Chains A and B, each alone.
Chain A
Amino acid sequence: METIELKINGRKRTLHCLPNATLVEVLRDQLHLTGTHVGCDTTQCGACTIHVDGCAVKACTVLAVRSDGSDVMTIEGLAENEASHPMQEAFKACHGLQCGFCTPGMIMSAVDLVNKGCALEPSAIREALSGNICRCTGYQNIVAAVMQGASEMQEQSS
């Protein structure tokens, strides 16, 4: 067992895990943060996307021990003070989800692409989201949601 320290959704945690445990396993099984999902075994679907030190990362592909000392944010930590994040609101408003399984990963990727200054036009968003698979929505409403969520994020920060 290894001991690691992480800041998770703003709170410091000390954890014990196997050296081969992935970050998503620790989040789901030890911390019961089950909003981060696992949809594949080849780093292809993006259902597990979270933020580590402010950047979108596929949590199925990071060993927990490698993130020792990191600041981790999952979908559960995105909303501040119980109010939804504008990207979460936009996904609801634009019907950007159906079964909801890909949704936490999509939202975490979407917030990241806005933070990174991705051009806010459909073709750029489609390309930026191509690491996240959704089998339900056909992506159209996800793209609309990201456009709307992005402009609200920008408004809030200005």
Chain B
Amino acid sequence: MSGSLIGKRVLRKEDHRFVSGKGRYTDDIQLVGVTYAAFVRSPYARADIKSFDVSEALAAPGVIAVLTGEEVVKDGLGGLPCGWMIHSKDGSEMRQPHHPVLAADRVNYLGEPVALVIAETQLEAKNAAEMVMVDFEPLTAVVNPATASQAETLYEAVPNNVCYEWELGDEAATDAGLAAAAHITTLQLTNNRLIPNAIEPRAALAEYNSGTDEIILHTTSQNPHLVRLIMTAFVQIAPEHKLRVIAPDVGGGFGSKIFIYSEETALAWAAKKLGLTIKWTAERSESFLTDAHGRDHVSEAQLALSAEGEFLALKVKTIANMGAYLSTFASAVPTYLYGTLLAGQYRTPAIYVEVDSVFTNTAPVDAYRGAGRPEATYLVERIVEKAAAEMGLDPAELRRRNFIGRDQFPYQTPVALEYDTGDYEASLSKALEMADYDTFATRQAEAASRGKLRGIGLSCYIEACGLAPSQVAGALGAGVGLWESGEVRVNPTGSVTVLTGSHSHGQGHETTFAQLVADRLGLPIEDVEVVHGDTGKLDFGLGTYGSRSLAVGGSALSVAADKVVEKGRKIAAHLLRTDVDNIDFDAPVFKMLDSNESKTFQEIAFAAYVNHDYPSDELEPGLAEKAFYDPLNFTYPAGTHICEVEIDPDTGVVEVVQFVAVDDFGTIINPMIVEGQVHGGLAQGIGQALLEQAVYDDTGQLITGSYMDYCMPRADNFPDFKVGMTCTPCTHNPVGAKGCGEAGAIGSPPAVMNAITHALGGIEVDMPATSEKVWRAVQTMRTLKTA
């Protein structure tokens, strides 16, 4: 029976509650005696706080309390820390400004919280928040990352606003490669700043029980244990065992719900301080202002090629915007999740990258779907395609000449990673076939007959997922090991409860993880229930991000299931009065070798709990096993995306007319769910390429602060995507899985932009390729043609 559920399109166990309105998101939870919080926020990007006057607010109807940044200081709360230490080239540690829970004397970005009002109703809290008088003295804001290091210093402890100046790779070898080149392609680009926009806004509901001194915090988190760890060990609002964090149904995250934010922390602190139950749910405009933003790089790169188109060296210089403070994982994103991916799928022998991360008076920037890897892929795949055009080579052919061959694994890149396995040619050729690449010219001519400019663009991406081998991560500065925990708990009747430190906020773990365990144990999937998202129920877990859930969390469950089988064999041996070596598990039956005797899984489960004749020195009762799985390496999903666009030269409107994605995610448990992940990632990646951008003006006011100004992808922005798979199983985890959550967002932006550049005859525009930018490019193209 084992193997019968792997690779099956099992419909999702969680869906019934969602389609019937019975999901239970944080804001849906109703508790007796609840009060409501509203935050007072800075209307300036940078200002000194001269004073607070809360008297009017306190006197307003329904108001229970007003807490300001001054109380945070008085209570001695710690700042919100960043979990990854990066060292600069000169060996010095990154500079980290104090990130207060509520600002007391200086605000550093628009929307930064300075106080919270707690009242009987939400409306009363919001009204009173308007009455809190904060005397701000506005200061000049630093907004542009490209010039931030020459601007006024924002923090005394951070000279020139530079967080770190990081490097990776061999500069001398890279310069030698450039010197020996027959051709050098150069490229300047920006990776546009994005706002994650999970459709469920962040929310928190904190209750305090004075009888037990326990805080229960329900919150929109991708990793509740990390919330608990940081709030207790670093901010010190309570001892760790007195804070229970529950992340119930969570409406999407895409990275933005990994981080530990001011609002949730302040709520837990206030609940205990005031002995109250308090709820806060962000308005969308608060999400725009304060959810950690993504991307925001400015880069220049040089690719050195031989006359035959062989890559000799790649040199990259990037400025990354950290925003006003270092968010939870911010420092790692433009370094170890970016620089290490610059080899792409290629054998480029020498690579050197420098990254300067700078502070600005904008919202903190951290991991957003892909986190660093989209930025790396965008740079590599844009410059490779540009090189092909400059050298008159077919872009697919140029890539082929430089691919790491399928027989060259494991492959050590010059930027620290060792790829375990892959077959880049397989994905490329499958994608070319699905895209009818060979007949593009016909479609282009047909489009031209309708007055449209048609272009095609490729992107062969790679990412490093399955964060992370703890030893490697630790050596690179991670503050915590990045293993995952899992438990397979067999109940006396033989049903199984699976507990995982991973968290599902749309990914479908309740189905995929149940499939995995049911398959291992030979049980019907209905008998397996997955529990996640509650520090009160689970062992410490590290949560869901970086496409790690199945590769790391699933592997933990696989190991735990193996342990259950081992224990079951011992129980079977005891019951059948034989040696354990004589027991074979042929899921779901424990069989005695050379005999007809056997025990079913249910019989073993029951016996595990009800028997009373175990040899106590050899066999404990019970059948529940745990595993903490620490991966041996990263996993390396890779693939090829091909986009075709049509541009209307009169309006500059870009239509994606075909999009092909072929991905190698290793072993797939549920193809339906995996394809869904690809679709969602593609929509976000194409959204980045065509529509989305967070814009601040020179004073640090957010221009794109609502859905009226920030262009979200909608159903009519896309064609049906054509999705295909290839498979080289991961070599070092027991599931063979590599991770699929981010690939769509990583691979697609360069494919779209390469297609647009192709349609525009080589004229480059930056993302997002709005109709205005594209229309202007068309005008330039026409001028060049007539000149």
Can you report 20 A-B residue pairs in the complex whose CB atoms are below 8 A from each other? Answer: A32-B30, A34-B24, A34-B28, A37-B251, A39-B199, A40-B706, A74-B21, A91-B15, A97-B18, A99-B251, A99-B505, A101-B251, A104-B18, A129-B714, A130-B714, A132-B714, A133-B199, A133-B707, A135-B254, A139-B718
CB distance from B648 to the nearest CB of A (A): 17
Given contacts A95-B672, A100-B251, A135-B199, 18 further A-B contacts (CB under 8 A): A38-B27, A40-B706, A41-B706, A78-B20, A92-B11, A92-B12, A92-B16, A95-B673, A97-B19, A100-B14, A102-B199, A130-B716, A136-B676, A138-B679, A138-B718, A139-B715, A139-B718, A140-B720
What chain B residues lie within 8 Å of A79 (beta carbons)? 20
Asked if residues A136 and B21 are in contact (CB atoms below 8 Å), the reply is: no
Convert B162-200 into 0s and 1s, putting 1 for each residue whose CB lies closer than 8 angstroms to a CB of A.
000000000000000000000000000000000001111
Interface assignment of B23: CB less than 8 Å from any CB of chain A:
yes
Report the bound CA distance from A77 to B672 in whole Å: 29
Interface assignment of B395: CB less than 8 Å from any CB of chain A:
no
Convert B5-18 into 0s and 1s, putting 1 for each residue whose CB lies closer than 8 angstroms to a CB of A.
00000011011111
What chain A residues lie within 8 Å of B712 (beta carbons)? 44, 133, 135
Asked if residues A39 and B200 are in contact (CB atoms below 8 Å), the reply is: yes
Report the bound CA distance from A35 to B707 in whole Å: 22
Asked if residues B676 and A137 are in contact (CB atoms below 8 Å), the reply is: yes
CB distance from B679 to the nearest CB of A (A): 3
CB distance from B232 to the nearest CB of A (A): 28
What chain A residues lie within 8 Å of B254 (beta carbons)? 135
From A51-59, A64-72, A119-127, A150-158, the one touching the partner chain is: A119-127
B684 and chain A: residue at smallest CB distance: A135
Report the bound CA distance from A34 to B672 in whole Å: 28
Chain A contact-residue range equals: 35 or more
CB distance from B681 to the nearest CB of A (A): 7
Using a CB–CB cutoff of 8 Å, the interface residues on chain A facing chain B are 18, 20, 28, 32-42, 44-45, 47, 74-76, 78-79, 84, 88-89, 91-93, 95, 97-104, 107, 122-123, 125-127, 129-130, 132-143
Asked if residues B20 and A35 are in contact (CB atoms below 8 Å), the reply is: yes
Using a CB–CB cutoff of 8 Å, the interface residues on chain B facing chain A are 11-12, 14-25, 27-28, 30, 123, 197-201, 249-252, 254, 281, 283-285, 505-508, 672-673, 675-676, 678-684, 706-708, 712, 714-716, 718, 720-721, 744
What chain A residues lie within 8 Å of B11 (beta carbons)? 92-93, 95
Asked if residues A39 and B19 are in contact (CB atoms below 8 Å), the reply is: no
CB distance from A21 to the nearest CB of B (A): 9
Which of these, B675, B680, B721, contacts A136 with CB under 8 Å?
B680
User: Total number of A-B contacts with CB less than 8 angstroms?
Assistant: 182
Report the bound CA distance from A16 to B15 in whole Å: 34
Which of these, B200, B285, B683, contacts A99 with CB under 8 Å?
B200
Asked if residues B682 and A100 are in contact (CB atoms below 8 Å), the reply is: no
CB distance from A98 to the nearest CB of B (A): 4
- The answer to whether A91 and B679 touch (CB under 8 A), given A42-B707, A133-B199, A140-B720, is no
Report the bound CA distance from A142 to B721 in whole Å: 13
Which of these, B20, B21, B284, B684, contacts A42 with CB under 8 Å?
B284
Asked if residues B30 and A138 are in contact (CB atoms below 8 Å), the reply is: no
B16 and chain A: residue at smallest CB distance: A92
What chain A residues lie within 8 Å of B508 (beta carbons)? 98
Asked if residues B679 and A141 are in contact (CB atoms below 8 Å), the reply is: yes
- The answer to whether A40 and B284 touch (CB under 8 A), given A45-B707, A97-B19, A98-B676, is yes
A108 and chain B: residue at smallest CB distance: B21
CB distance from A23 to the nearest CB of B (A): 15
Report the bound CA distance from A61 to B157 in whole Å: 48
Asked if residues A140 and B19 are in contact (CB atoms below 8 Å), the reply is: no
CB distance from A116 to the nearest CB of B (A): 16
B17 and chain A: residue at smallest CB distance: A100
What chain A residues lie within 8 Å of B250 (beta carbons)? 99
What chain B residues lie within 8 Å of A78 (beta carbons)? 20
What chain A residues lie within 8 Å of B23 (beta carbons)? 35, 100-101
Asked if residues A41 and B283 are in contact (CB atoms below 8 Å), the reply is: yes
- The answer to whether A138 and B681 touch (CB under 8 A), given A41-B283, A76-B20, A101-B252, is yes
- The answer to whether A33 and B201 touch (CB under 8 A), given A18-B123, A130-B716, is no
Asked if residues B21 and A99 are in contact (CB atoms below 8 Å), the reply is: no
- The answer to whether A44 and B21 touch (CB under 8 A), given A101-B200, A138-B683, is no
